[in-house]
Amino acid sequence: MMKNLAILFSFGSLLLLNACKPDDVIVDNPPADTGYSTGAFVVNEGSFLQNNASITHVAEDGTVTNDVYYAQNQVELGDVLQSFTVIGDRGYAVLNNSQKVEVVDMVTMKHAGAISGLSYPRFMVSAGNNKAFVSNGSTDGTIEVVDLASNQIESSIAVGKGPQRMGVYGNDVWVCNEGGWTLDSTITIVNAASHNVIDTVFVGHRPSDIVFDQLGYAWVLCAGETFYDANWAVVGHSLAKLYRIDVAAHAVVSSIPVGLPGDHPTQLEISPDGQVLYYENNGVYRFDFVNADFPGDLIIGEARTALRIQPSTGQLWCASISDFTNPSTVYVYSATGAPLKSFTAGIGTNGIEFQ
Amino acid sequence: MNKLVILIAGIVWSWCACAQQTDTISGYHQTEDVVIIARAGSIWKPSSVITPLQRRQWIGGDVGSFLDAHGIAHQLVAGAAGAASSLRYHGLSSDHAVLTWHGLPINSVTLGTCDMSLMPLFFFDQVRLYETPSLSEGMQCGMGLTIDLRNEALEEGSSARIISGYNSMRNRLIGAEAKVSQALRGGVLSTQVRAFQQEMQNRYSYVDRYQIDKPVMWQKHQQGSFAGSHLDLEYKRGNRLLAARSWWQSKSMELPTVMGTNVQGTASQADDNLRTMLEYRWWSAKLSADAQLAYTQEKLHYLDEPYAIDSRIGSQMVWARGSLQWRVTPSWMLKSTVSEALVHVANTNYTDGQIRKTWAQYALQSHYFKKRHELDVNGSFDRRFGSEGWSAQGNYGYKLDRKAWAMAPQFNLARRFRLPDMNELFWMPGGNPLLRPELGYHGRAGILLLLGRETRTVWRIEPAVYASRVSDWIQWVPAEGSVWTPVNYRKVQTQGVELHAACEHRTDYDRTKWKLETRWNMNDVFWLDSTSAHTQRRMIYTPRFTGYQGVTVEHGVHAITLGYRCVSERFTDEMNTPHRALAAYGLCNVWYSASLKIHGAQVQLSCGVDNVFDVAYETLRLYAMPGRVLRAGLEFSFQSNKKNEPREIITLD
């Protein structure tokens, strides 16, 4: 009897052991080292606290490769990929909730370092001289000056609240103080060489994006604010506005409301020739500010995120997000809005970086 | 002398005890997924899943960890094993199970703050599973499984118990219980009171495989304390019973760290719950009636300063239930039940700060049994929070009883309509008031075999197959920012096969007893892609296979159990991304207990090693699990008019 019991137990154990043997993780074979130094990089935020941010690479021949970082490094990129910037032969993935910037080799996409010591990093731009600026902070904001040789933070520059996107014009970096979890209405101008704040420009609520045209003007899209009462009921909105600023004088030349009360557009792009603006407000508008009147033409009728103009072709890239669980769809249009192609990217696409 | 040494060691060990660490998932979503493997003898009757021996081996343990370690349930945890707010059964969602306390539903009508890992085993005399509970039990709104927690009054005499538990994660539990039963005016008044206090640190190390350099990390922000008590009064006279019950608990803890990021745990949560109930029962040869009136109150404060989340939520509920049971003939019983609840929820994030809702359920049951046949048909009509629908269920069983063996095939078919619960509708942030109710069709067929009766070796074998088809399945998914929200999946299907087998062998004069136990479950759960009716994806966090194998040897005062628990790979996202799947794992556990008598007091000593081989595994993506955990417990109990412990035998029911 005992022998039978022992045999039965052994048999059962064998079954269990084999049933629950850990399987090898299946990973698509990464591409050969053809390099990631060309093409486009789709920035997929991922789901908050799920550590599933990713980068999708689109090669020049149109080949789409999702999760390129994981494929090359066998570890997740991090939590909430806010932006991806290429400076020289390095790529910098700004991971907002991981509180770091992941540095990758742009040929192999392999891990090449990390910039830590950040509390709430958002965007990164080159400041020349092997330095970079990282916008940081959800309330009182700073620009963290990073030495790209050592990946160390050298200094902090105090700016407005919730700094977000930055634009580089000559030797100056223009910082949009979007407000973060509070509210701001300023643009801080920082000299890239001296790291000094040289001016502050007052615009509308929540400056979200900035571009520079060929005529010496900066265009800033201010998203406007939603106002709540003590019980979180919406009680009003401030209008979104597009500001035109004289770059040399640091002075607002004109502003115009965008959309209706309750609209809060945040994405602004400019054509490679610097003469046509594109902005998203429950659809994508094309505004030839030289030859046409505002608001311009509605060329894409659906809401889009990650609006970007490809510098080499002038084509319009943007994404559609259904939720933060399913993959996004990236669309490519001609400069006038004719659809060209689409493909599936990662979760929560919020940006595209072109090489 | 040996007994004295053991006693002293036990006292010292208890004094050094640290609290059991338990963690709840953050307030972003309240549900944890658990797969249930167990089955009752008759699937529509409850079975108690904790045997006296297992209680002795798990002194200081919690209900959630116990269910998981014995293969009865598979839980998602956010930290130390056992953290679970709700249950999954046969691949069904975590919201589909119902937790009740003496019949009062305590997770579906409230805020969902019912963490099984924070319910010490000693706090309840019975943990009963209903696989396909009768809808006449009232306020089920489940899709198959109900767990009922109960306490039993003493028939006579008095008893007292002190327990202490400790584990190597520096968690400590201390508890006490007293029961008295005395004659009063021709009846019997029974009083029982129980209280416990836990201090938790949950301190353990793990390798963070989500970071490029795979550092060894120590769990931080697991500090917390937890206390609870209950008081039960029962007065029984003739054919009447009047009972007053109350259950209070309070918890405060920091929530766990997530792997793969540099962000340390930043959130904390404090809960306070009070549940009170009045119960009256009357019975005669043909008729019986019972009425329950309950009041519950919950408060929850969730704080996450870096993300500017500060939610204070409170709820009160008044619940009443009445049922009438009529034995029409000796073979036929009819039962009707009416349940009503009025719920008030106050939330600092609501537009006007509060919501008031009502819930009603009307149910009928017909139970017929004659000779070998048993047929149970029941149905209910639910109206809650503006939605309504009906459910129906039929169970058929057949018993063939022979001297040496017995056999009982059983069949179940059900249509279940489940209304979204308070947690799904109104949890802030993320609750979705636009959720549609679920509708499911379920079937189960199984057979129970008893072999070797009245011999020294008895076998109990229960294979079963089951399937469900559910429309508008409710599933919590990550939304924008830090919020999770429940959404409806258009179609979900689940089917599986399971086996529960046990064998017990006794030597001469019952000196030594061997028990072999097996629980296996193979299950497929798919949902249809919302964009394509032809795309099937596996439901997240649902293992395809779970298994448990245990061997127990009892000899004299000693008992030792060797258990092996395994869970297969699980996907963690809707796209079933392979590299984000959680790997399969197997855990080996060893539990020992000794039962002594010292100067009239019963002393139970237990110790165990969970995860003997220090396996690294995850049950919820990004949350580290502890490796090898040592634990120990000590219990002193005193009882007048002590009756012998019932002999554990494998039976048909």
DSSP states along B62-73:
BHHHHHHHTTSE
From chain A, the residues in CB contact with B459 under 8 A are: none
From chain B, the residues in CB contact with A327 under 8 A are: 575
Report CA dihedral (A172, A176, A182, A185) to the nearest 10 degrees: 90
Is it the case that residue A217 has pLDDT exceeding 80? yes
Nearest Cα residue in chain B from A113: B212
The most confident of the ranges A242-246, B123-127, B647-651 is A242-246
Let me know: does A276 contact A294? Beta carbons within 8 Å.
Answer: no
> What's the pLDDT score for residue B200?
85
> What's the pLDDT score for residue B203?
85
> What's the pLDDT score for residue B110?
58
Tens digit of each residue's pLDDT (9 = 90 or more) over B402-460: 888 889 999 999 998 888 877 777 776 677 878 888 898 989 999 999 998 878 889 99
Which residue is associated with the tokens 């990217």?
Answer: A345
CB contact under 8 A, B478 and A2: no
Interface of A with B in 176-195 (CB under 8 A): 181
**Of residues A26, A49, A100, nearest to B262 (C-beta):** A100
Pairing label, strands B224-237, B240-254:
antiparallel
Q: Is A156 an interface residue toward B (CB < 8 Å)?
A: no
Burial (CB count <10 Å: 0-12, 13-18, 19+), residue A252: middle
Nearest chain A Cα distance for residue B159, angstroms = 39
From chain B, the residues in CB contact with A181 under 8 A are: 308
From chain A, the residues in CB contact with B622 under 8 A are: 49-51
Pairwise CA distance, residues B294 & B422, whole Å: 17
CB contact under 8 A, A75 and B622: no
**Of residues B349, B351, B479, nearest to A323 (C-beta):** B479
Rounded to 5 degrees, φ, ψ at B453 are: -65, 150
Nearest Cα residue in chain B from A76: B210
**Of residues B260, B457, B584, nearest to A76 (C-beta):** B260
Is it the case that residue B45 has pLDDT exceeding 70? no
Nearest Cα residue in chain A from B213: A75
Q: Which residues are within 8 A (CB) of B236 and not within 5 positions of it... i.e. 6 or more apart? A: B187, B188, B190, B242
Let me know: does B519 contact A11? Beta carbons within 8 Å.
Answer: no
Angle at B522 between CA B516 and CA B523, to 5 degrees: 145
Is it the case that residue A90 has pLDDT exceeding 90? yes
Q: Lowest mean pLDDT of B391-405, B412-426, B536-550, name the range.
A: B412-426
Pairwise CA distance, residues A42 & A63, whole Å: 13
pLDDT class of B39 with cuts at 50, 70, 90: very low
From chain B, the residues in CB contact with A13 under 8 A are: 549, 564
CB contact under 8 A, B566 and A17: yes
Pairwise CA distance, residues A37 & B128, whole Å: 62
The most confident of the ranges A101-105, B486-490, B621-625 is A101-105
Rg of chain B (C-alpha set): 24
Secondary structure (H, E, C), A267-291? EEEECCCCCEEEEECCCEEEEECCC
8-state DSSP, B653: -
CB contact under 8 A, A324 and B482: no
8-state DSSP, A61: T
Burial (CB count <10 Å: 0-12, 13-18, 19+), residue B274: middle
The CA distances from residue B293 to B254, B281, B612, in Å, are 35, 12, 47
Burial (CB count <10 Å: 0-12, 13-18, 19+), residue B356: exposed
From chain B, the residues in CB contact with A103 under 8 A are: none
From chain A, the residues in CB contact with B584 under 8 A are: 19-23
Output the furthest CA–CA distance in chain B (Å, rounded).
74
B647: three-class secondary structure by DSSP: coil
Structure tokens at B636: 């002193």
CB contact under 8 A, B549 and A13: yes
From chain B, the residues in CB contact with A20 under 8 A are: 545, 547, 566-568, 584-586
Rounded to 5 degrees, φ, ψ at B483 are: -100, 140
Q: Is A50 an interface residue toward B (CB < 8 Å)?
A: yes
Is it the case that residue B526 has pLDDT exceeding 60? yes
**Of residues A20, A26, A325, nearest to B586 (C-beta):** A20
CB contact under 8 A, B622 and A27: no
Is it the case that residue B2 has pLDDT exceeding 90? no
Which residue is associated with the tokens 């009083």?
Answer: B191
Q: How many CB atoms lie within 10 A of CB A254?
A: 10
Nearest Cα residue in chain B from A324: B479
Q: Lowest mean pLDDT of A116-120, B84-88, B424-428, name the range.
A: B84-88
* Chains A, B: CB pairs < 8 Å: 136
Interface of A with B in 17-46 (CB under 8 A): 17, 19-23, 25-27
**Alpha carbon distance, N-terminus to C-terminus of chain A:** 73
Pairwise CA distance, residues A1 & A7, whole Å: 10
Q: What is the distance, to the nearest Å, from the Cα of residue B315 to the centroid of all Cα atoms in its chain?
A: 22
Pairwise CA distance, residues B109 & B355, whole Å: 13
CB contact under 8 A, B263 and A98: yes
Query: What is the sign of the dihedral through the CA atoms of B26, B29, B35 and B39?
Result: positive
- HSE-CB at A330 with a 13 A cutoff on CA atoms is 31
CB contact under 8 A, B478 and A48: yes
Q: Which carries the bigger pLDDT value, residue A7 or residue B265? A: B265
ipTM here: 0.79
Is it the case that residue B8 has pLDDT exceeding 60? no
From chain B, the residues in CB contact with A50 under 8 A are: 478, 573, 621-622
Is it the case that residue B70 has pLDDT exceeding 60? yes
Tens digit of each residue's pLDDT (9 = 90 or more) over B509-525: 778 899 999 999 898 88
Structure tokens at B398: 């057949």
Over residues B222-242, the mean pLDDT reads 90
CB contact under 8 A, B457 and A1: yes
Report CA dihedral (B572, B573, B576, B579) to the nearest 10 degrees: -60
> What's the pLDDT score for residue B318?
93
CB contact under 8 A, B585 and A22: yes
pLDDT class of B87 with cuts at 50, 70, 90: very low
**Of residues B214, B477, B551, nearest to A323 (C-beta):** B477
Over residues B167-195, the mean pLDDT reads 92
Is it the case that residue B28 has pLDDT exceeding 60? no
CB contact under 8 A, B480 and A324: yes
Nearest chain A Cα distance for residue B483, angstroms = 8
Over residues B7-26, the mean pLDDT reads 30
> What's the pLDDT score for residue B552?
94
CB contact under 8 A, A26 and B579: yes
Mutate to test the interface with A, among B210, B212, B266, B537 (most CBs of A within 10 A): B212
CA nearest A76: which of B228, B603, B493, B212? B212
CB contact under 8 A, A52 and B260: no
> What's the pLDDT score for residue B352?
59
Percent pLDDT > 90 in chain B is: 32
Mutate to test the interface with B, among A76, A100, A151, A229 (most CBs of B within 10 A): A76
Over residues A215-237, the mean pLDDT reads 86
Q: Which carries the bigger pLDDT value, residue A14 or residue B66? A: B66
Mutate to test the interface with A, among B266, B483, B580 (most CBs of A within 10 A): B580
Which residue is associated with the tokens 């490029």?
Answer: B212
pLDDT class of B275 with cuts at 50, 70, 90: very high
Q: Which residues are within 8 A (CB) of B213 and not within 5 positions of it... i.e. 6 or more apart? A: none
Pairwise CA distance, residues A299 & A355, whole Å: 26
pLDDT class of A328 with cuts at 50, 70, 90: very high
Nearest Cα residue in chain A from B617: A22
| Sheet containing strand B126-130, strands side by side | B47-48, B126-130, B146-150, B98-101, B104-105
Nearest chain B Cα distance for residue A22, angstroms = 5
**Of residues A27, A98, A324, nearest to B478 (C-beta):** A324
Tens digit of each residue's pLDDT (9 = 90 or more) over A41-61: 999 999 887 889 999 999 988
Is it the case that residue B610 has pLDDT exceeding 50? yes
pLDDT class of B529 with cuts at 50, 70, 90: low
Sequential DSSP letters for A97-161:
TTTEEEEEETTT--EEEEE---SSEEEEEEEETTEEEEEE-SSEEEEEEEETTTTEEEEEEEEEE
> What's the pLDDT score for residue A322?
81
Pairwise CA distance, residues B78 & B25, whole Å: 5
**Of residues A20, A50, A78, nearest to B545 (C-beta):** A20
> What's the pLDDT score for residue B31?
28
Pairwise CA distance, residues A86 & A104, whole Å: 9
Is it the case that residue B97 has pLDDT exceeding 90? no
> What's the pLDDT score for residue B263?
59
Pairwise CA distance, residues B126 & B150, whole Å: 5
Strands (E), B201-349: 205-207, 216-218, 224-237, 240-254, 267-283, 287-304, 309-329, 332-347
Percent pLDDT > 90 in chain A is: 77
Nearest chain B Cα distance for residue A204, angstroms = 24
Over residues B609-627, the mean pLDDT reads 89
Pairwise CA distance, residues B161 & B196, whole Å: 12
Is it the case that residue B79 has pLDDT exceeding 60? no
Over residues B308-317, the mean pLDDT reads 80
> What's the pLDDT score for residue B6?
44
Rounded to 5 degrees, φ, ψ at B301 are: -125, 115
Is it the case that residue A134 has pLDDT exceeding 80? yes
Tens digit of each residue's pLDDT (9 = 90 or more) over A272-324: 999 999 999 999 999 999 888 889 999 999 999 999 999 999 999 999 998 78
Query: What mean pLDDT, rounded, does chain A reach?
Result: 89
